[in-house]
Amino acid sequence: MTKRFLLVVFAFALVVAACTSSDDTTTTTAGAASTTTTTTEAPAAATTTTAAEAVAVCPSEAGGGTVVIGTTDAIASLDTADAYAVRDWEVLKNFGEPLLKWVPGAADELQLGIAESMPVASEDGLTWTVTLRDGLLFGDGTPVTAQIVASQLTRLLTISETGPNQVGLTLGNPYVDSIEAVDDRTVQFNLPAPIAFFQQLLASASYIPANPAIFPEGELNIFPEPPLTGTGPWIVTEIVPEESMTLEPNPNYYGDQPNLDRVIVRQFADPQSMALAVQSGEIDVAWRILGAELATELGEVDGLNSVVVPSGPIRYLIINHVLEPTNDPNVRKAIASVIDRDELSDVIFGGAVDPLFSQVPPGFLGANEAFEDLYGSPDLDAARAFLEASGYSEDNKLQLPVWYPPEHYGATTADGVLLIVQQLEATGMIDVSVQAQEWGTYVGAATSGEDYAVSVLGWFFDFPDPENYLQPFIENGGIGTMVTAKEDGSITPGVSPELLTLLTASRLETDLDARAAILDELQKVYADEVVTVPLWIEPEFIVYRDGICGDASLPNPQTLNIGGTMEFVYSVLNTDGS
């Protein structure tokens, strides 16, 4: 059975909010943390029985042994100063640990990692200091000092740019000027400008101090030879490229030892073979990326649990604000008025994906439903009115090219685009030409903002903050939206400069309520400008065999404690000993 417990409860929260008072929406969804609390403490919900079944209970003493996890993601880079992919970060966070870390299973609740106490900001917000735990060791027994942490984290700022992913340019240099050791246990971060989300940033994989014995100061080591040791609870003992990776507990880890003796991660070419493997018992857990359909099928198999993870990448339409015909605000608004997200969800994913009504997904600070409030789509009459205002009619149809990548996001993309085209053409005033382009070519054309007026893309956060869902589409030319002109960052004529003002304000505001209010306003302007058209949240599923369980004392044990941050923490895993 597919357990959709979390989404259900979340939807209830929305329903309750809608029923009680429409003004109340902001507070209900204000912080992701509050949502988490609701989900974990809502036994009264109609799905209690389902939820109880979902939590596989492992006896506290029994267990251990080996768990084999399947994935379809390849390893791309294992150097913290370069890695920039979900699977890579998952591995990094299991054999390494940053200063702060997310509570497994929670949406965005931070706890201490290798730091002894929460980081402290200076008055002006430009310096942050963190103290390390006493007696920290890397997995190979080398002590972890503040000097090592500072110099290893500095790699992100200095040598990251020599790597293929150059993650430093995204997560390092824009936010941090320099990192230094104050004494043996204190590290200081110097920032160019105060930011509201510095602690979230510190919990990302890029801020894991890597072992200098493997990752030397002056150069990247993207594909290091095992054993890989670090600050985390595991040691990577074996890597067979494209096939498997073995992890064993790190005896020098400061915290509790993992329950398991060994974790093996096996890589599959495609979701089908992974699905068959979990069915035949070759693997115990199938994690990333199973489609909604496969996960539903597997949920019906005896002995398997298929659970949706409360997070996932979003899909949206890039609308180019410079090219014809989408440089016309009426055209953009017509597109926004036409999209029927419920139909997309029902037809393409059998209702397994959640419609998305703002670029910031629900659960994040300040997330609202700006597109729903503004356009109430599908509203064909409104769409026709917008089109008529710009002189289009049934005889003079709007010619709209829509581009999509046929293979990259899976075959559902084509189904979705086909449906969107039918929705657009239902106005009788739009003539869509659908164009498929293979990913390698597509993505450059879509993001450069020079070729495609309307195109489909996906997005998943680098760090869980609304900033990461808004800034990339607004600043620096946007991702193909061209809302701001590329070089000088000036706003494209016809677009409200308020976008940039609000974005900057939201970044600097550290008071949560005030920031939520700014973000709410920002999303409204965003929807009014139709910077992008959010479509849906693609669900991620985890499928595991009976006898595998997570930590029942943490949130979301039914997903093996994978929460809103989508992190899979292997040390919470246990077996029932069978």
Partner 1 sequence: MPDPVLLDAPPEEQWQIDLERVGLLRRLLNGRKWYGVDWWMVVISSIMVVFFIVIAFFPGLLAPHDPLEQVGPRFLPPGDKPDAEVLLLRVDSPIESLADLAGQGRVPTAVVQGAPSSEDIRSEAERITQELAATGSDDRIRFRILRLETLEEVLAAIQAGDVELGAGSSQQLEPLMDAYPDVVIAGPISGEKGGKTFLLGTNQIGQDVLSRLSWGARIALIIGFTASIFSLVLGVPLGLFAGFTGGKIDRGLTLVMDSLYAFPGLILAIAIAAVLGPSIVNVIVAIAVLYIPTYYRIVRGQTLSTKESLHVEAATSIGATKTSILRRYIFPLVIPSVAIIFSVNIADAILTGAALSFLGLGLPPTTPDWGIDLARGQEFIQRAWWLITFPGIAVMLVVLAFTMLGEGLTEIFNPKLRKQ
Partner 2 sequence: MHPLLLTFLIFGIPAVIGLAYVFVRGSPGLRSYIVTRIALTIPMILILATVVFLVMRIIPGDPIDSALGPKGTAEIKERFAEQHGLNDPLAVQYGRFVVDIFTLDFGNSLVQSQRPIVDELGERLPATLEMVIPATLLALGLGIFLGTRAGVRRKSATDYGSRIFSVMIYAMPIFWLGLLFQLIFGVWLGWTPIAGRIDPQIPLERTTNLLVVDAIITGNWVALRSVLSHLVLPTLTLGLVLSGVFLRLTRINIIETGQEDYVAAARARGIDRGTITRKYSLKNAMIPVITLIGLQVAILLAGAVLTETVFAWPGMGRYLIQRILARDFIAVQSVIIFFALFVAVISLAVDIVYSLLDPRVRY
Cβ of residue 451: shortest distance to partner 1, in angstroms? 12
Q: How far is the CB of 29 from partner 1 (least distance, A)?
A: 14
State how far the alpha carbon of 309 is from the alpha carbons of 83, 185, 389, 568, in Å. Answer: 23, 37, 43, 11
Among partner 2, partner 1, none, partner that 291 touches (CB below 5 to 8 angstroms by kind): partner 1
Report the residue count for the chain. Answer: 578
Q: Which residues bind partner 1 (CB under 8 A)?
A: 1-4, 7-8, 11-12, 14-15, 18-19, 46-47, 50, 271-272, 291, 293-294, 296-297, 342-343, 345-348, 350-352, 372, 376, 379, 381, 406-407, 411, 413-415, 417-419, 422, 434-438, 440-441
Q: Is the peptide bond before 143 cis (omega within 30 degrees of 0)?
A: no
- What is the DSSP annotation of 316-334? EEEE-SSSTTTTSHHHHHH
Three-state DSSP class for 76?
coil
Quote the CA–CA distance of 430 and 422 in Å, as a whole number: 10
**In terms of CB distance, is 87 or 341 closer to partner 1?**
341
Whether 8 contacts 351, CB under 8 Å: no
CB of 76 to partner 2, least distance (A): 4
CB 312 within 8 A of CB 380: no
Q: Tell me which of partner 1, partner 2, none is bound by residue 47, counting a contact when its beta carbon lies within the kind-specific cut-off of 5 to 8 angstroms.
A: partner 1
Name the burial class of residue 486, with classes exposed (0-12), middle (13-18) and buried (19+) by CB atoms within 10 angstroms of its CB. Answer: middle
* Closest by Cα among 532, 562, 565, 365 to 458: 532
Q: How far is CA 179 from CA 98, 173, 192, 253, in A?
A: 14, 11, 12, 24
The entry of partner 1, partner 2, none that residue 211 binds, CB within 5 to 8 Å by partner kind: none
347 binds, among partner 2, partner 1, none (CB under 5 to 8 A by kind): partner 1
Query: Minimal distance in Å, beta carbon 312 to partner 1?
Result: 15
- What residues line the site for partner 2 (CB under 8 A)? 66, 68, 74-78, 84, 161-166, 169-170, 222-223, 240-244, 246, 264, 266-270, 272-274, 276-277, 279-280, 282, 407-408, 438-448, 457-459, 462, 472, 476, 479-480, 486
Q: Which is nearer to partner 2, 16 or 74 (CB)?
A: 74
Which CB sits closer to partner 1, 364 or 442?
Answer: 442
| Identity of the residue, 398 or 417, whose beta carbon is nearer to partner 2 in the bound complex | 417
Distance CA 513, CA 27 (A): 9
Distances in Å between the alpha carbon of 413 and those of 71, 272, 346, 419, 458?
21, 18, 14, 10, 10
- What the block records as the tokens of 398 is 């709007």
Task: Say if residues 284 and 67 touch (Cβ distance below 8 Å).
Answer: yes
Q: Which does 459 bind (CB under 5 to 8 A by kind): partner 1, partner 2, none?
A: partner 2
Q: How far is the CB of 239 from partner 2 (least distance, A)?
A: 10
Residue 103 touches which of partner 1, partner 2, none (CB < 5 to 8 A by kind)? Answer: none
| Choice between 198 and 544, CB closer to partner 1 | 544
State the minimum distance, in angstroms, from the CB of residue 235 to partner 2: 16
Closer residue to partner 2 in complex, CB, 267/358? 267
Q: Minimal distance in Å, beta carbon 407 to partner 1?
A: 3
Cβ nearer to partner 1, comparing 197 with 541 = 541
81 within 8 A of 197, measured Cβ to Cβ? no
CB of 4 to partner 1, least distance (A): 5
Least CB distance from residue 22 to partner 1, whole Å?
9
Q: Which is nearer to partner 2, 143 or 164 (CB)?
A: 164
CB of 295 to partner 1, least distance (A): 11
Q: Alpha carbon of 184 to those of 54, 132, 134, 136: distances in Å?
A: 46, 9, 10, 11
Query: Which CB atom, from 260 or from 278, has the smaller least distance to partner 1?
Result: 278
Instruction: Considering the complex, state which of residue 351 and residue 391 has its C-beta at the smaller distance from partner 1.
Output: 351
In the list partner 1, partner 2, none, the entry touching 74 (Cβ below 5 to 8 angstroms by class) is partner 2
The answer to whether residues 155 and 217 touch, using CB atoms and an 8 Å cutoff, is yes
**Which position has the token pair 């974990």?**
40
Question: CA of 327: how far to CAs of 256, 313, 319, 461, 530, in Å?
Answer: 57, 27, 9, 27, 11
Residue 69 interacts, among partner 1, partner 2, none and using kind-specific CB cut-offs from 5 to 8 Å, with: none
Other C-beta atoms closer than 10 Å to the C-beta of 465 total 24
Which of partner 1, partner 2, none binds 457 (CB below 5-8 Å, type-dependent)? partner 2
Q: Which does 458 bind (CB under 5 to 8 A by kind): partner 2, partner 1, none?
A: partner 2
Instruction: Work out the end-to-end distance of the chain between its first and last CA atoms, rounded to an integer number of angstroms.
Output: 22
Helix (H, G, I), strand (E, B) or coil at 548: strand
How far is Cα 181 from Cα 191, in angstroms, rounded to an integer? 15
Say which entry of partner 2, partner 1, none residue 282 contacts (CB below 5 to 8 A, set by partner kind): partner 2
Q: How far is the CB of 354 from partner 1 (least distance, A)?
A: 8
Coil, strand or helix: which one is 132? strand
- In the bound state with partner 1, the residue whose beta carbon lies nearer, of 48 and 490, is 48
* Cα angle: 455, vertex 566, 368; to 5 degrees: 60
β-strand partners of 213: none
